[in-house]
Structure formats: structure tokens, C-alpha cells
Amino acid sequence: MKKYLLPIIMLVIFETIAITLWITKDNLFYLFNFSYIGISIAFGIFLFIRKYKYARRVTQLLVGLYMLVYLGLICNENMQIEGFWYYLFTGVFEAATIHYAIAKIFGAFIFGRGWCGYACWTAMVLDFLPYKIPSQPRKKIGWIRYITFSVSFLFVAALFLTHVNNIEKIMFWAFVIGNLLYYAVGIGLAFLFKDNRAFCKYICPITVFLKPMSYFSLLRIKCDTSKCISCGKCKKVCPMNVDVTDNSRKRENGTECILCFECVKNCPKDAL
């Protein structure tokens, strides 16, 4: 049973969130929503422990499709960063704000960038592309994320300042068009840089929240230096170029780790 402790802990965390929000906000949706996400994540970790090759992809599809299709397209909840700004401006603590608070801001203190590895619907598609292991050195263009972050903020601020009509309808279409843009740019960059996760590394505005928070993450991959033979395989297979053999929080690209466990799976000495 001990080896199944992690999926059980994840399930307990999400059930606690689900029940707390259900009771405090008197809305059954939160019970269903966070239970579903918790079960999907726990199931993925369970499959990983059982050594199923596509365990992470299963969770990515279960959570990503639920958020994109059900919450975004069917329930009209803009779960992009624009939706977060929108609810923040309206002062309503609703789905998109709660989602950001849990998955991308405070949750990152516990599970780092687990969101990026297991739930993001943009990466869900990008991870199907052929460049799982980056074949080129990292580019120094990460500053682009601050531009996309500012543009998303200014776009929603402008909607409020100009008092446009049908703002909810605009937010829905912003979600559809925003996602199509993300996919187009993400796929284009993946082929250009031969790196599936190029969009995550240079463009994604959400990393402005995720990176500083995940620096303090409780859940991290650590290296048993007494077992490590410095073969370099872990760094070679890492989609995010993390130097995982360095246990310090300041390790190279440490705030980029998406907890995909590729390094763990490939370490010949079980040092990770």
C-alpha cells in the first residue's frame, strides 16, 4: 500500500478542496469539479506506479478535455488568463479565479508546475508533437512571456474601461480565439525550434505566476548523489532542460520542472 501513498494524498487534497468549496460556496459544482480533477490526477499517478507508459497522457486528456470542452466551450467559463483578469475585475470569486488560485498560484507551493505536466489543455496537444526531447539549446527569449502577460491584462482592462456591451460574449470568443492562437503559435514554435514545449518556455503568460510560486514547491524531484554516476541521461531526456542532479532550489531551470518523471524513468541507477 505504501507505494500508493502519493495518489491517495493527491485524492485527499483535492477532496478537501472539493468539500470545502462545496460547503462554503453552497454550490455542488465544486464538489463535482474538484473530485473529478482529483480522481483523474490520482488515477494517472496510480497508472504511473503500475508502469503504464502513457499514464501522464491519460491524466492530461481527462483533465485537459474536461476544462477545454466542458468548462470552456459548454459552460462558457473562460479559464484562460483573460478569464482570471475578468473575474478579478468584477470582484467575483468564481470558477476561473478559484482555478487560478488553486492550480497556478497557491497550489504551485505544493505541487509546483504539476498543472503543466498533467492538466493544461494547450500542452495536452503540444505533447503529441514529435519533439519530446529538445534537440537545440534553450533560447534566451523567455522575456516574451511578460509581453503576452501584459497584453492579456490590458485587453481585459480595456473592455472594462470602455464599458463595452456583451462583455460575457466577448470573453467567450476571447477564449475560443485565444486557444486557437495558442495552438497555432505553440505548434509553429515546436516545429521551428524542434521542441514540443517551446511555447511553455518562451510565450505562455501563465508562467509569470507559475515560475516564482513553483520555486518553493513542496513536491520536487531530488537526486540521491550517492547513487548518481553523472551519466547525464536525466538532463538529456528532460523536456524542460532542468538540471535535476542539483538538489538546490536554484538549480538550472528549476522552476520549469513539470513533474513529468521522464528523468526518473530513464535514470539507470534509480537515483531520482
Contacting positions for ligand SF4 (CB under 6 A):
116, 120, 122-123, 199-200, 204, 206-207, 221, 223, 228-234, 238-240, 242, 244-245, 257-263, 267-269, 271-272
Nearer to ligand SF4, 22 or 77 (CB): 77
CA-to-CA dists, residue 162 to 47, 71, 102, 156, 187, angstroms? 50, 27, 31, 10, 34
Nearer to ligand SF4, 123 or 190 (CB): 123
Q: How far is the CB of 165 from ligand SF4 (least distance, A)?
A: 31
- Closest listed residue to residue 115, CA positions, set 184, 213, 188, 196: 213
Q: How far is the CB of 124 from ligand SF4 (least distance, A)?
A: 9
Q: How far is the CB of 231 from ligand SF4 (least distance, A)?
A: 4
Q: How far apart are CA 102 and CA 261, in angstroms?
A: 22
Nearer to ligand SF4, 30 or 199 (CB): 199
Q: How far is the CB of 265 from ligand SF4 (least distance, A)?
A: 8
Q: How far apart are CA 37 and CA 63, in angstroms?
A: 6
Within 13 A of 248's CA, how many CA atoms are on the CB side?
A: 3
Nearer to ligand SF4, 31 or 231 (CB): 231
Q: In a 3-state reduction of DSSP, which class is residue 137? A: coil
Within 13 A of 109's CA, how many CA atoms are on the CB side?
A: 5
CB 119 within 8 A of CB 67: yes
CA-to-CA dists, residue 47 to 7, 57, 121, 240, angstroms? 10, 10, 20, 23
Total residues belonging to the chain: 272
Nearer to ligand SF4, 77 or 262 (CB): 262
Q: How far apart are CA 120 and CA 199, in angstroms?
A: 12
In the chain, the DSSP E strands lie at: none
Q: How far is the CB of 129 from ligand SF4 (least distance, A)?
A: 13
Nearer to ligand SF4, 29 or 149 (CB): 149
Nearer to ligand SF4, 22 or 195 (CB): 195
Nearer to ligand SF4, 105 or 167 (CB): 105
Q: How far is the CB of 125 from ligand SF4 (least distance, A)?
A: 10
Q: How far apart are CA 173 and CA 77, in angstroms?
A: 11
Q: How far is the CB of 20 from ligand SF4 (least distance, A)?
A: 24
- Closest listed residue to residue 260, CA positions, set 43, 115, 110: 115
Q: How far is the CB of 169 from ligand SF4 (least distance, A)?
A: 25
